Chains A and B, each alone.
Chain A
């Protein structure tokens, strides 16, 4: 996961979804996720996933990154499906749920700067947890960059060569150990800097006001409609299943329309 690319997308994106209020996006995320959780029909779950994919394409999110990140849990879900699913169809449902839910989360973090995503969580958890959460995300950038440099350094010292596996293992372990020491030193430095800046045990987050309240409302209503359809299909049980290809087709059409729109308005 390239955390820097995610953050760049969240902060530099100019789509309407990027400009929507964080609260509206979080509510929509929760509604869409609930739709995936309550639904056991693979075609309806696929429809929700396709709808979110259409939203990602229309918002001009970097496709390779977004769909790559969403597919990642699909690998683990496939292993779980292989190990535990009673039949291939249930297995495909597991994978569809994993990828659909991941797509929801990835679209959220790729369109919303992380302090705004964490702000609601920070309000309900103890202050040490909320603040550490913000520090974790910030530290991820530093450590990821440091790890990249360490990898280059190890490679330059033939640490990752196949001819000398023992040397490679030692160099890699030293690099990881160095990263741990660097991280701990960094935490001490950060603590000193935070104290100098007046940190008193609570990082404050200011959430900017919404740019388009109408779009926010439409987003939440759309997600609520998706959940309503999912619940309807669930309550109707087997009665609606012959028609479950309809939402999937709608999702496919939405994705097709989003791709066409993105290609024509380049």
Chain B
């Protein structure tokens, strides 16, 4: 399911606030771990793979509101620590492009990051069990399992949000029962009875709950279509890369490769 397409201001502040704190802590830990190695070498790689995920996310399958994510591919190429950082970068850029929501950056980072980490772990396990020649099969299974797990996590987030004030809304001058607009001049526009705390009888303040069951039914119905498409694409991509340059998939993109620069030209 990848990232959450829930608008800003729908989830309760404690939930997105907690998500932000946990995500920033995870990113900080990941950056600290990554720093132990040659950190400057990872910057372009992180940037490129994050950009790759963003480019893939720009192609949407409109009827089911799904877009390709390449998160498992990114996880396999980057590994778990860099994967978490890449997830954060992707979500910040997406939020700035108006896609994803700013307040849910933390929760989205956790969702995409967990997809990369779970995908990476299951892929390595799958290759160990089935062998390197079955990269495509492993990727299909891993992608579907990973997406199913994160979709369940998404339903869990909505369930956590659903009971509280998540869907609380004032109805404006619209009566939700009759769907008719109230005449605000009825009591005299200058009387501003609102300032005296007298609530008009017709306008409503409805505290309603998100329908978790309906939400789960929709995502578990539409989601699998996207999972299969995503799994096939990611399997094809990883299969191609594994065939052409196996070290990237099995050794990781950070495995040492000879630099075209002479040693004395490097700046330390």
> Which one of B35-43, B123-131, B140-148 contacts A?
B35-43
Taking the complex as formed, is B134 at the interface, i.e. its CB lies under 8 A from any CB of chain A?
Answer: no
Interface size on A, residues (CB 8 A): 103
Query: Residue of A at shortest CB range from B57?
Result: A1
Are B267 and A200 closer than 8 Å at their CB atoms? Answer: yes
Are B43 and A86 closer than 8 Å at their CB atoms? Answer: no
Give the residues in chain B near A43, CB-CB below 8 Å. 172-173
Are A239 and B168 closer than 8 Å at their CB atoms? Answer: no
Out of B10, B32, B95, name the residue touching A105 (CB < 8 Å).
B95
Once the chains are docked, how many angstroms separate the CA of A40 from the CA of B209?
Answer: 14
Are B8 and A37 closer than 8 Å at their CB atoms? Answer: yes
Taking the complex as formed, is A244 at the interface, i.e. its CB lies under 8 A from any CB of chain B?
Answer: yes
| In the complex, per-residue mask of B19-45: 1 if CB is within 8 Å of any chain A CB, else 0 | 000000001100110110001111111
Are A177 and B244 closer than 8 Å at their CB atoms? Answer: yes
Are A80 and B5 closer than 8 Å at their CB atoms? Answer: yes
- Known contacts A173-B237, A238-B199; decide if A183 and B52 are in contact (CB<8 Å): yes
Minimum CB–CB distance from A42 to chain B (whole Å) comes to 6
Are B176 and A84 closer than 8 Å at their CB atoms? Answer: no
Out of B193, B197, B267, name the residue touching A195 (CB < 8 Å).
B267
Are A239 and B43 closer than 8 Å at their CB atoms? Answer: no
Once the chains are docked, how many angstroms separate the CA of A25 from the CA of B39?
Answer: 32
Are A109 and B204 closer than 8 Å at their CB atoms? Answer: no
- Known contacts A101-B8, A128-B43, A184-B253; decide if A177 and B102 are in contact (CB<8 Å): no
| In the complex, per-residue mask of B191-229: 1 if CB is within 8 Å of any chain A CB, else 0 | 011111111101111101111101101110010000000
Query: Residue of A at shortest CB range from B211?
Result: A84
Q: A1-B99, A98-B7, A181-B248 are in contact. List 5 more A-B contacts (CB 8 A).
A: A79-B218, A83-B215, A173-B239, A191-B45, A242-B202
